[in-house]
Amino acid sequence: MFSKDAIHATVELFSARGVMLYYACQLSQFEAYLRVGSLTSDAHLQQAGFGAEAEGGGSGTASVTAPRSICLHLTDPGVPFARDLHALPALGGPIVFQLKPTALANAAELAICLKSRDAAGFDPGRHTLAAPGDVAHLFKYTAEAPLPEKSFLKSASEIRAAFNCEDAAEPRIYCTPAAGGVPFGAIASVWVDNYLIEKRQLRDWVHAIQAYYDYRFSIQRRYSPADIGGLLANGIVACLLAGVPTLTDVAREGSPLLRKWAAELAEKGLEQDFETFARSFREETILPIVTGRKSLGEGADTHVNGPPQISLPRVKRELVDRLLQEKISVASIARITDLDEKLIQAYATRK
Per-residue pLDDT tens over the stretch 315-324:
677 788 888 8
More confident residue, 295 or 189: 189
**pLDDT of res. 297:** 46
**pLDDT of res. 315:** 60
More confident residue, 337 or 15: 15
Does residue 83 have a pLDDT over 80? Answer: yes
More confident residue, 42 or 52: 42
Mean predicted confidence (pLDDT) in 154-173: 95
Does residue 340 have a pLDDT over 80? Answer: no
Confidence of residue 265 (pLDDT cuts 50, 70, 90): very high
Q: DSSP string spanning 48-98?
A: TTPPPPPTTS------TT--SSEEEESS-TTHHHHH-TT-PPPTT-SEEEE
Average per-residue pLDDT in the chain?
A: 85
Return the DSSP state at 122. -
Confidence of residue 165 (pLDDT cuts 50, 70, 90): very high
More confident residue, 180 or 166: 166
Summary count for the chain: helices (H), strands (E): 16, 11
**pLDDT of res. 191:** 97
Q: Which helix (H) or strand (E) holds 348?
A: helix 341-350
Mean predicted confidence (pLDDT) in 68-75: 95
Identity of residue 34:
L
More confident residue, 257 or 55: 257
Mean predicted confidence (pLDDT) in 71-99: 94
What pTM was estimated for this model as a whole? 0.81
Least confident of 70-79, 167-176, 233-242, 331-340: 331-340
Does residue 29 have a pLDDT over 90? Answer: yes
160: which residues sit within 8 A by CB, 6+ positions away?
166, 167, 168
**pLDDT of res. 252:** 86
Mean predicted confidence (pLDDT) in 69-77: 96
**In a 3-state reduction of DSSP, which class is residue 130?**
coil
Least confident of 63-72, 79-88, 137-146, 167-176: 63-72
Closest CA to 205 of 192, 216, 222: 192
More confident residue, 343 or 295: 343
45: which residues sit within 8 A by CB, 6+ positions away?
29, 32, 36, 51, 52, 53, 66
Per residue in 207-230, pLDDT (tens digit) is 988 988 888 899 999 988 767 767
- 219-221 and 109-113 as β-strands: parallel, antiparallel, unpaired? unpaired
Identity of residue 41:
S
Mean predicted confidence (pLDDT) in 145-169: 95
Confidence of residue 313 (pLDDT cuts 50, 70, 90): low
